[in-house]
Chain A
């Protein structure tokens, strides 16, 4: 088993909690794991990404070689395209279609979506409204994680355990909300595959 995942978004959007969930789930399954994060200056509203590598064998590099990523998981549509050079020709893109507009020259949504639709393998989802339906827009990143779960090569059970562990300090209600969001994202993806 070996999965190389690029997580993409904008500083402050919570890609590190997606990384943490996948990481905890991988540990649960006693897989090897390496996760390179971005800290410091680039976090301030800029483009951020994390290289997440899971494997049943020891992992050498902290960075994924270009053109070898199995998955790009993005919480922002333009950011999903920024790391295309990293994606394996057979890889998938899973992305939210909710734009984070903090630059003056952000592209037209229509053009952006056309660019994503050109790709051979993608899952797009309106994570914000799905999260809202589950109870809070704050769970949008869990919806995106949910949509990625069919591709992670991890047991759904270990991911749900990870979500529970990550949010348990915030009370049962928050745990349930995030689990609901996770499952909503997963079901959406399963229908699109």
Chain B
């Protein structure tokens, strides 16, 4: 079969296409976005009629994928780590219902928070829901494990979690692909009550899930993704999970690792293998790209075992991603000190693009709020979060998808009037609509700015579920027509925009202001494509 140059994300997508997937569901989020984008651009996916559209949020994506699994077909759902929080209700319960067609959940974690608000480790979710987790160490394993994950899911009749991290997701290398398989036929679950989690059924299903744990562990020990690499120096044994295995190998480019290594790529942990390493070595070093999950288990509550080294004892940093040097230092390797960064090199933080509509919207908002003082704007997740920084310094919160509206409600209840929420169009339909319903029912004196750039901008301009629907949604949720205002965020309309915002801020109820202008990135992409189409016609 062919060798392709693929990002880790793309390797997963290609494997899912080759692996007989019938549908993929996702909400964009760095570093997971490219999985869906790859399927959307794939010719093979189109030919095989693979369903590949963005969902409104990770929860709806998870549920749709579960529905496809119910119908007997293979489905994938992808999200960034914090997206799994949004999908958690469906995700945890999908472990209880179990799967029919293969169901693979991809969670892309972002240690060091390159593009995220925390660095939570999705392996906790896998353990919490008692399902198998696969954690590839490189792009080839990402491909192979995705293929395997669908088979494992159908064999065990449960969802499988594929956990990746930023560096694997966004690094490109050659990947060998294997023979594609056909999609499943439509097939209902043998037991039509399998997905009915009434307490009496759920209790039975949960016991079945618990009963599968021993078999899952046995499979972990035999799959080949967990294995001990025997070495003679038993003063130290190394457990290397996922990507950290590469950083370990990087320190031994001659291939001569002195200490035994347990490479971990599949969970639940194979206890016999862990025990074998533990018993044969004097100390254990645990390398995990993420939270110290295995390390904590090995240490136990009282840490009375033999020395366990890792993130908890300071051998490795407690937070952030690993790299070859950090791992090398833990192994006592010496690295040459590179030159220091000269002092004149200044930080160059990300910022809103020149000509971005958000800038004009926030300039108007800042002026409209000037007489009230700072500290009144609750915001959300998206490009516009950058308005927290200089020069705009326009917003005062960014917590989770949709929090702007709900936090403004609470602050207004506490007496902070006016309180303003600023949320993007895609974030609004992801998780802002329910907060707006609360605000309407509460008659909260808040002003909600829905920054409509007609795309999901931060992740690179994916289709926004909100497109063309915002006025109808807010009207439907009960916002009075006279308090729904659409603005054109351009410098030349600045004064009128300020006046409209001021007026709505003074109104003692819910008002919606929609500054609407297309993202200049998607606009220029569209123009380029248009120009290209034109030349081709000639």
Interface residues of A (CB under 8 A from B): 10-11, 23, 27, 32-47, 51, 59-68, 78-79, 81-82, 84-89, 102-103, 105-107, 111-112, 115
Contacts and interface: CB of A to CB of B under 8 A. Distances in A.
A60 B261 CA distance: 15
Contacts of A46: 348-351
Contacts of B273: none
B527 interface: no
B324 A84 contact: no
A33 B5 CA distance: 9
Nearest to B250: A61
Nearest to A42: B350
Given A67-B336, A105-B346, A62 B246 contact: yes
Nearest to A108: B344
A84 B342 contact: yes
Given A46-B350, A62-B168, A66-B338, A41 B114 contact: yes
Contact of A103 (B33, B172, B348): B348
B175 to A, nearest CB: 11
Contacts of B383: 44
Nearest to A10: B348
B158 interface: no
A67 B30 contact: no
Interface of B: 5, 7, 30-31, 33-34, 114-115, 167-168, 170-174, 243, 246-250, 253, 323-325, 328, 335-342, 344-353, 383, 386, 458-460
A60 B33 contact: no
A37 B7 contact: yes
Given A34-B173, A61-B247, A107-B346, A44 B167 contact: no
Contacts of A78: 344-346, 348
Contacts of B338: 66-67, 84-89
Contacts of A41: 30, 114-115, 350, 458
Contacts of B34: 39
Contacts of B249: 60-61
Contact of A44 (B7, B342, B346, B352): B352
A33 B174 CA distance: 7
A85 B339 CA distance: 5
B324 A61 contact: yes
A44 B324 contact: no
B350 A11 contact: yes
A82 B5 contact: no
B114 A38 contact: yes
A59 B324 CA distance: 12
Contacts of A40: 30-31, 33, 114-115, 458-459
Nearest to A106: B346
A81 B346 contact: no
Contacts of A86: 338
A147 B342 CA distance: 24
Contacts of B174: 27, 32-33
B310 to A, nearest CB: 19
Contact of A34 (B172, B341, B353): B172
Contact of B325 (A44, A66, A102, A107): A66
Contact of B172 (A10, A35, A44, A47): A35
Given A32-B174, A33-B5, A37-B171, A44 B345 contact: no
Contacts of A107: 344-346
Contacts of B170: 36-39
Q: Is the interface of B mostly helix, strand, loop or mixed?
A: loop
Nearest to B243: A62
A89 B336 contact: yes
Contact of A66 (B253, B335, B348): B335
A65 B323 contact: yes
A158 to B, nearest CB: 15
A45 B353 contact: yes
Contact of B341 (A44, A85, A102): A85
Contact of B167 (A60, A63, A81, A87): A63
10 contacts: A27-B174, A36-B171, A41-B115, A41-B458, A60-B246, A61-B323, A64-B324, A85-B341, A87-B339, A107-B345
Nearest to A57: B253
Contact of A42 (B115, B172, B323, B335): B115
A111 B4 CA distance: 45
A44 B250 CA distance: 31
Given A44-B383, A60-B249, A87-B339, 20 more contacts: A27-B174, A37-B171, A39-B115, A40-B459, A41-B114, A42-B114, A44-B353, A46-B348, A47-B347, A62-B171, A63-B324, A65-B323, A68-B335, A68-B336, A78-B344, A78-B348, A84-B338, A84-B340, A107-B345, A111-B344
A65 to B, nearest CB: 4
A30 to B, nearest CB: 9
B339 A39 contact: no
Contact of B342 (A43, A63, A65, A81): A81
A45 B350 contact: yes
Contacts of B336: 67-68, 88-89
Contacts of A34: 171-173
Given A60-B253, A62-B168, A85 B346 contact: no
Most A CB atoms within 10 A — which of B115, B328, B460?
B115
Please give me the 10 A-B residue pairs with the lowest Cβ-Cβ distance, nearest first.
Answer: A40-B30, A40-B115, A46-B350, A60-B249, A85-B338, A61-B250, A67-B338, A62-B171, A44-B350, A41-B115
A43 B529 CA distance: 21
Contacts of B344: 78, 81, 107, 111-112, 115
B115 A44 contact: no
B173 A35 contact: yes
A106 B350 CA distance: 15
Nearest to B356: A44
B167 A62 contact: yes
Nearest to B344: A107
Most A CB atoms within 10 A — which of B171, B253, B341, B349?
B171
B346 A61 contact: no
A41 B383 CA distance: 8
Contact of B246 (A23, A61, A84): A61
